[in-house]
Structures are given as structure tokens and as C-alpha cells.
Structure 1
Amino acid sequence: MTALDRSISDIVLIVDDVPENLALLHDALDDAGHTVLVATDGESALLRARQSLPDVILLDAVMPGLDGFEVARRLKADFTTRHIPIVFMTGLTETEHVVAAFAAGGADYVTKPIRPAEVLARIAAHVQNARQMKQARSALDAFGQATVAVRVADGRLVWQTPLARRLLRDFFAAAGEDAPLRLLDWIHDAELARREGREPVGLLAADGSRRLLASFHDQTGDAEWLVVLREENDASAIESLIAAFRLTQKEAEVLYWVTQGKTSKDIGDILGSSPRTVNKHLEHVFEKLGVETRTAAANLAMSRMRSGSA
């Protein structure tokens, strides 16, 4: 299949089993500068959508075989196509059919007979919204943010960045559209903490020396939350302390275990050193951090590790 150049025009997929409707819409959209793809039945519509990932889909509600409502449900159930806005085309203006269109995942609808000017206006609005969402996700991906959008009402992952998908797979063996139960429980607990004026607990999961931390980013809709995930482990934390405070490897290791509440004897046992040597490293750490106590050093180190800055 020839790659479509999205830098030249937006891609619109029209799905209709009536040739006259396809011809009318194709000509209007083509004249307006859109790249137009067509499908005449539900199965081919699903195939075209997955292959080309159009910017918007114009979908006939009533077709033989797989109707538009079922096509929409399948598109919205697929991670690769669920972000695509769907505009239903229907002559069925009764309330139950309009409700069915939105329930199936439609973003909008137009009624037949089709008025090309109205269709063009609707497409322009939805393409713009979809483009802004795509840019936001691309920005998150580019900065390595592990971010998920979770719809709490049904426990679904609305979308997730590649890094978030990897972390959820690593920690929870999650590989579908359902949010891990531990993540949903964390959201409920964190929401309660926020309502009560408490700081939500950041720890989501632990696996040996690896820890998965979570924090709220924003609420994108009714009961839909953006959650930022961050992996932390002993090695990466020690590396961040080295970079942040220009510590030696041993000094950073000592400081890290101080943040974990370990005594000099405990740290000596972990690192294979004497408590005297540990205390000597601590003197150098205090000097480099500009502090005088273990508590002050630990607080400063934990603040730097939480911020992720180095």
C-alpha cells in the first residue's frame, strides 16, 4: 500500500454502500483539498481504517451486513483506531438512532440528504480537535512521558504513550484496553486523598528494586484522568544523585541508603564497608550538599529524586 502524505492534506475515509453518495462526497472533499478514501461495506471500512489511519471517518449508519454502529464499536475497541473521530451519516433522525450513534463512539452526525457544505464544516472542526490531541500525545512521547488516560467509570485505558504501555506490561502484564485493577484502586485512593486535603501516595507497584510511581496530571473529562507513571530503581536513583550533587559513586550510594532510613551500620553491611567509612563518606556528602544533618541531606536528596531533575 502506498504511503499517504499527511503533510499535504487531511485524510478522510467515506463509508457508504450507495455509489451516488460516495460520488457526491468524494468530489466535494477532493475539491476542498482532502485526500479521500472510500469503502462500500463495514468489513472493508475496518481494513481501510487500520491501514491508513484517516484523520476522520464519514460513516453511513445503515448498511447491509456490518452496519455503521457495529463498525464504530469495533473501531473504538481497537487501540490503533479509537482516536479517529467518526461522523455518522444517517437519514434516521429519531432520538434512539442519534443516541445509538453517540453510544457507538460517534463524535457527530449529519442527516441525509447530505449537504456537502455542512459536511465540510463538521470535518474541519473534528480534524482540528484530533490534530491537537495527536500533537499533545506526540509531545508526551517525545519527552519520554509515560502517560495514560483512564476512564474510571468502565476501567478502560482511553489512550497511552508507548512508554506507559511498556511499564504497564512490565509491572502488571497488562496488554489490552482494560486498566490494571491496581491502577484503578490507586486512582480511587488518590482521589479520596485529594478531596481530604492529603497528598496522594505515589507508589503504585514494586518489583524487587524497581518501583512504579504514579501522579495525577489532569482531568480530561467526566471520570477520565491523565496519570503520569515513572519507574524508579536503586541504580537510577543513585545515578541521579551523582549527577545532581557531583558525588562519587560511594557517596551517592551512602546518601541513597540514608534516604531509605538506613543507619550507618546498615549501610556498611549493604556496601561491605565499616560504619566508620560510611560516616566519612557522609561528611563529604554534607559538605557537597551544604547541610549539617542526615535528615537535611535525606530531604534534599529525596526532593531531587522526586523532581527527576539532575
Structure 2
Amino acid sequence: MTAPLPESPLDRSESEIVLIVDDVPDNLAVLHDTLDESGYTVLVATDGESALQRAAQALPDIILLDAVMPGMDGFEVARRLKARAETGHIPIVFMTGLTETEHVVAAFRAGGVDYVNKPIRPQEVLARIVTHVQGARLARQARNALDAFGHATLAVRLGDGRVVWQTPLARKFLQDYLGCQDPQLPEELLDWVRAHRGLPAGPVAPTRTMLQGARRLVVALHQQTGDDEWLLVMREASDAAAIEGLTLALGLTLREAEVLYWVVKGKTNRDIGEILGASPATVKKHLEHVFGKLGVETRTAAASLAIGRVAQLGQG
């Protein structure tokens, strides 16, 4: 029953994957047989460490977690699962014989979405699984759909800055633009979220733009998804088409077109130098070449010549 996971990825097309975590073999056997007969792919773990390992490897659709186990208890397992971006979205249903209010509250605080009392009634567990797996599936489909259209999503917990869950595209954007390698939102972006979360709701979400050469990442603060959780939607935009258009239309070199493009955007020489990785003096020299080619003497005149072209390309 505790055989290692297969080396090849588990097939999710035919059934959902359920991870059962319990240190009592009889409990595992009853639930395993019931779920297997109902068409689920069932994985099991008998302690906290193996539960964390199996969850990270298999990314199950739902986890049935015993609250009281020797060593690492279920509450700690849940907290660790929720602290990891790759497993934080998985719904956890606690199984417990502890019915006192403080234990129920502890289960929800640790990240559980539901709980069932022991002794386990398999049909009750099945009903809970159906409900929570369906909800998780719809949420996953929505996140994947946003990824497919280039809109990456993540949910961040403002108290500690932990990324509760994120789509693969969101993870890539954070790595590319901010060098973020762990499920922790960078402080600069976290401060921005905290500063804008209290603004009155409006038709347009607050946005922040981060630049990387001709590429930019636009981060929008959308809505609150939990007591201390907020949803961010990110999309990547590129200025390459507009810059190429300026190059062809005005007879500029690529670097001259880049400098002119950012002049149109209202950037100073210092700003442009930071974007392009050049000194302000170098930017000034490129701008002098632009003035000569365009037959103008000021930034305003150069921008006026270019702005129509930028607008035509839909990049203004």
C-alpha cells in the first residue's frame, strides 16, 4: 500500500488523484478500497514527511489528512503544504477524532477546507471529496485558461508575503523579472500591494509596470480572495514592434530607436540609461544622433515626429 510513486507522471485524464495520510493501517485500508472502487487514483502516506514528499511529487487533487499522528502532526503537515507554491492550492480535508472547538479551529487555520470525524464513514468522505475536487478543478481550469491567454495569476498572503498559489506562467514571470526562486513575493511588489489594497474599488484595477529592456511586466491588483489573500494578474508586453517600426520609418539604428521610444514615453536620460543598461551620457549621444537624422533640435520635437508612428502600432 505504501509502494513508491511511479517514475512516469500519473494520468489525470481518467480520474482524480487522492492522497490519504494516516498512521493507522486499518483506516488507510478502508479509505483506499472505497476510493479505488469509486474510480479515484489513490496514494497513501503513513507519516508527515512522506506526506510532504508524495504531495510534492504527485500534486494530488485533494488530500485526506489525519490530524493526530506521531512526530509531525497533521496541522504542521498542512501548514507546510500551504506554504509551498506548488502544493498550496491543494484542498485538505482533515480526519480527526478531536471534536473540541479549538481543534476544529486549528484545522481551518492550518489551511484545511473541511473536516470529517472519526470513526470514518466512507460515504461521507466520498461526498466531501466530490464537492471539494470539483471546486478545485474549476479553479485550476480558470487559472490555466488565464495562462493560455498570457495572463498569469497568483494569490499572495499579505501578512508574510507568501505566494499561496501561482500558475506556471506566473512563476516564470517572477523569475524572469524579479529573480524570485521561492514562494515569497519580492518585498518591492509586496509593499505595492499593501499600499494599494485599501483603495476604493473601481472599474480599472491598480497596476504596476516592471521593465526589462523592451519588455515589460504589467501587474494588476484584482481582488481579495481570503481574509489576508489578494489576487494578482500579470501580463507581459513588448515594445519591440514599436521600436522596429521607428527603426524602419525614421531611418534609425536599433539603439537610436530604443532611445527615441522611451523619450516618447516621457523617460529622462537617466531612466533610459537604466532601462537599456547604458550611461546617461551614452543616451545623450544617441539622442543627438536622433536629432540630426530627424532634423530637430529638442526632445519635444523628436517625440512629436515619433508619436504618430507609435500610436499607429498600438503601443502608445
Matched to 1:7, the amino acid is: S
TM-score in terms of structure 2 length: 0.75
TM-score in terms of structure 1 length: 0.77
Q: Specify every segment of 5 or more residues in structure 1 that has no aligned partner in the other structure, as ranges.
A: 281-292
Which residue in the other structure is 1:248 paired with? Answer: 249
Choose the corresponding residue for 1:122, options 128, 136, 156: 128
SS at match of 1:229: strand
- Matched residues in 2 for 1:34 and 1:43: separation? 23
Q: Specify every segment of 5 or more residues in structure 2 that has no aligned partner in the other structure, as ranges.
A: 1-5, 269-281, 297-303
- Matched residues in 1 for 2:179 and 2:244: separation? 32
SS at match of 1:28: helix
C-alpha distance 80-196 of structure 1, shift in aligned 2 (>3 A)? closer
**Contact 2:220 2:234 (8 Å CA) reproduced:** yes
- Matched residues in 1 for 2:42 and 2:68: separation? 21
- Matched residue pairs, number? 287
- Matched residues in 2 for 1:257 and 1:274: separation? 13
Which residue in the other structure is 2:277 paired with? Answer: none
**Which has the higher mean CA deviation after the structures are superposed, 163-172 or 253-262?**
253-262
**Contact 1:89 1:110 (8 Å CA) reproduced:** yes
Matches within 5 A, 1:154-169: 154-169=160-175
Deviations 1:184-235 (A, max 9, x none): 221233345x439798874454567665432223433334222233456xxx
C-alpha distance 76-270 of structure 1, shift in aligned 2 (>3 A)? same
Matched to 2:249, the amino acid is: T
- Matched residues in 1 for 2:309 and 2:227: separation? 39
**Which has the higher mean CA deviation after the structures are superposed, 115-124 or 128-137?**
128-137
Which residue in the other structure is 2:25 paired with? Answer: 19
Deviations 1:15-64 (A, max 9, x none): 12222222221222122111112222222222222222211111111122
Which residue in the other structure is 1:287 paired with? Answer: none
Choose the corresponding residue for 2:37, options 31, 37, 45: 31
Matched to 2:143, the amino acid is: R
Which residue in the other structure is 1:10 paired with? Answer: 16
**Which has the higher mean CA deviation after the structures are superposed, 65-74 or 197-206?**
197-206
Identity percentage over the alignment? 57
Matches within 5 A, 1:1-310: 1=6, 2-191=8-197, 194-195=199-200, 202-206=207-211, 211-231=216-236, 236-240=238-242, 242=244, 248=249, 250=251, 253=257, 256-257=261-262, 259-261=264-266, 269-270=285-286, 273=289, 275=291, 277-278=293-294, 297=308, 300=311, 304-305=314-315
- Matched residues in 1 for 2:223 and 2:51: separation? 34
